[in-house]
Structure formats: structure tokens, C-alpha cells
Amino acid sequence: MSSNRGFTQINFDENKGKKFRRSSSSMIMRVALVLSIIAVFFVGMIVLTITSSNNLMNIDKNQMSNVPSNILPSYSSCSFSSFDNQTNLSGWFFKCDNPITTIIVVHDSGSNRLPFGVNMIDMIEQWLDNNYNVFLFDLRNSGESGGDITTYGYLEWMDVIGAISQVRQISVTTDVVLYGIGSGNTACLMAYDKLPPKDIKEHELDSYDPEILNLGYDQSYIIGMIFDSPAKNSDDYIKTKVKQTQFLGMLTQNFVPYAIRISAGEGDSVNMIAEISRLPIPVCILYGGHDMYIGADKIDQVVNERNRLNSTITASQMIPGAGYLESFSSGKELYMKTVLNFLQSYFIKS
């Protein structure tokens, strides 16, 4: 009798063990399946990110349309090198008699040296008439310049440095005003940050590229900046484009900017609201009141923070009804008046 009870107990324990082993095996399979799905998802995200990054960097050059020479003010064609000494850039230099300073226009990605088309000639003539030299040039992979990728400011800052160095050679002025448009704002701010401050201490020199230190000028050579549609963060110019143009862009919008930065050799994005608000030089901000790309409300925050810290050297103008980079075309007279008033308020003949 006791022998049968023992046999029954052994069978029960064996069945219990088999059920446990089957349960454990099933759990392992479920975990493996979940991990496989997660792995496939991450691999897919990596592939999508790389594909989208390549699509955004390898855009076609926006060739400049033929502009009749008789409607352009007199200019000199320029060919010069970017700071990387590997990219040949092309530009136009417009000079006037007794210039106050030189305005360097830095266009948006996918644009060229005439970001507002032939209508921009009216603004160029206005600047010349009021004693401001003008330098227009094509960033890399734009217009007539060399280069085969666009990085939304993360490499283009070197083009801005190249343009400043070129102006320094050909202009009689002793300083420049940078005028950024769209992602050109990123390039302007990065170029400024790469230059050493005027009163740099000896022990701080090691934190700067020796070739930058050999340029022969510092941040003080840039005496003012004009920003058309500045973002809060430099990655914002890329994120929106990813969402609007790339497959599953809502999922990859935060990864693609990082991939582009890494491709350009830049680890961090630019906190533009902080950079712009702290600039110790006069700043002018223009933007469209109906900007849905960067967001007019976000640009309002840039303006408010700038005014909070540096209101005495700040000008700004919102163009009602204008979308992203439409401020000039939608409100040309107000736009030109704002820029000219800014220039004449802070940069006049001594």
C-alpha cells in the first residue's frame, strides 16, 4: 500500500517537472521572439536613419538662374577656398565708395547666393547706396560652388570662415556683418563660436584649432548679425525636413540630425536660443508670423530671450502672414526697412 503511494508521488513529481520544463521553454521562446522583434526594429531604424541622412545630404545643387547683367550692380566674381582647403567656393563682391562695413549673406540649405531671387537686387542696391559693401556666395553643394554634400550648417561654417577671409583680402572694410537665412544661421553661429574671443587668455589657446588661430582675426571681426528665421536648436532645420520628406520621418526625426552631425564631425547641436541671446554684438531677427516650419511661436521665444538679455542692441520684426523664409517676398518693403534701420542704428561712419 505504501509502495503504491510512493510510486504515485514519483509520477506526480515527474509530471510537475515536465510541465515546468515546457513552461520554461515556452517562456524562453517568447522572450527570444520579443528580443528578435526589438532587434529587427532597431536594425530597421538604423537603415532608415542612414537612408534618410543620405537623402538629405545628397541633394541636387540649386543652380542660379541666369540673371541679366544689366540689372545687377557692378560686381567682381570671386573664387576662393573654404576653411577646409578642399572645397572651392564661388561668389560676387559688390563694393561702394567709402564703405562702412561688408555684409556677408549666408543662404539656406538647398538655395544659392541669391536666396530671394532677382528681387534681392533691390536690397543689394539699397545697401550699396547707404555705404555697405555686399558679399554673396554659394555654400558647398550649392550654385557654382564645389562640394557634393549639404550638412545644414555643420560643415558650412567652414565656408563662412572662408568667405570672411576672402572679404578680408578684397575689401577695405575692417569688419563684417553676417546675415544668415534658414540653416545659414547655424553656419554663422558656428563660425563665430569657432573663432577665439578678442581677449583670449594664453592658457585658453589650446582649445582652438591652430589653423583658426592663424587666420589673423577673431570674433571681434564680426560686428553684427542678421538672422532670418532662427531656430531654437540647429537640429530643428533638419527635423522638420525629415518629417515632411522622409519615409517614417516621425520616427527618425531625432536620429537623422545626429547622423548628419556625426558625418560632419560635429558631436553636438547648437543651442541657438542661448547663443543668439548672449551674443555681445548687435542682432536683428526677422521671421514670418505664419511660419509652420520652425514655428513662429518658437522664434518668438528666441526674440524674447534676446530682448531679456540684450534689448539695447537688438532689433526684430515679425512679418504678418509670412511663412518660413517668406518674409522678404511677403513684406518686402517692411523687411528692407527693418534691415536698413538696423544697419544705420548700429553701424555708421565714424
User: How does pLDDT run across 328-345, given as a tens digit for each residue?
Assistant: 999 999 999 999 999 999
Whole-number pLDDT of residue 28: 80
pLDDT of residue 123: 97
Nearest to 102 by CA among 279, 224, 189: 224
- pLDDT of 16 reads 55
What's the grid cell of residue 154? 555643420
SS3 144: coil
For the stretch 57-98, pLDDT in tens is: 999 999 887 887 789 999 999 999 999 999 999 999 999 999
What pLDDT score was predicted for residue 19?
A: 55
CA atoms of 51 and 177, how far apart (whole Å): 37
Element (H, E) at 335: helix 332-346
Report pLDDT for 1.
47
pTM of full prediction above 0.95 = no
Residue tagged 555708421 (cell numbers): 348
CB 263 within 8 A of CB 294: no
Say how far apart CA 76 and CA 73 lie, in whole Å.
10
Question: What integer pLDDT is reported at residue 246 of this predicted model?
Answer: 96
**Helix ranges restricted to H, 226-311:** 236-245, 249-252, 256-264, 272-278, 296-310
Strand order across the beta sheet in which 132-138 lies: 76-81, 88-94, 132-138, 101-106, 176-181, 222-228, 283-288, 314-319
For residue 168, give the H/E element and its range: helix 156-170
Mean pLDDT for each consecutive 10-residue tract of the chain (350 residues)?
A: 51 55 71 77 86 96 82 95 97 97 98 95 97 98 97 98 98 98 98 95 90 96 98 98 94 96 96 98 98 97 98 98 97 98 92
What is the reported pLDDT for 15?
57
Count of CA atoms in the C-beta half-sphere (13 A) of 64: 23
Angle between helices 236-245 and 256-264 (to 10 degrees): 130
Distance CA 82, CA 215 (A): 12
Q: What does the DSSP 8-state code read for residue 58?
A: S
Residue 247: phi and psi, rounded to 5, are -60, 125
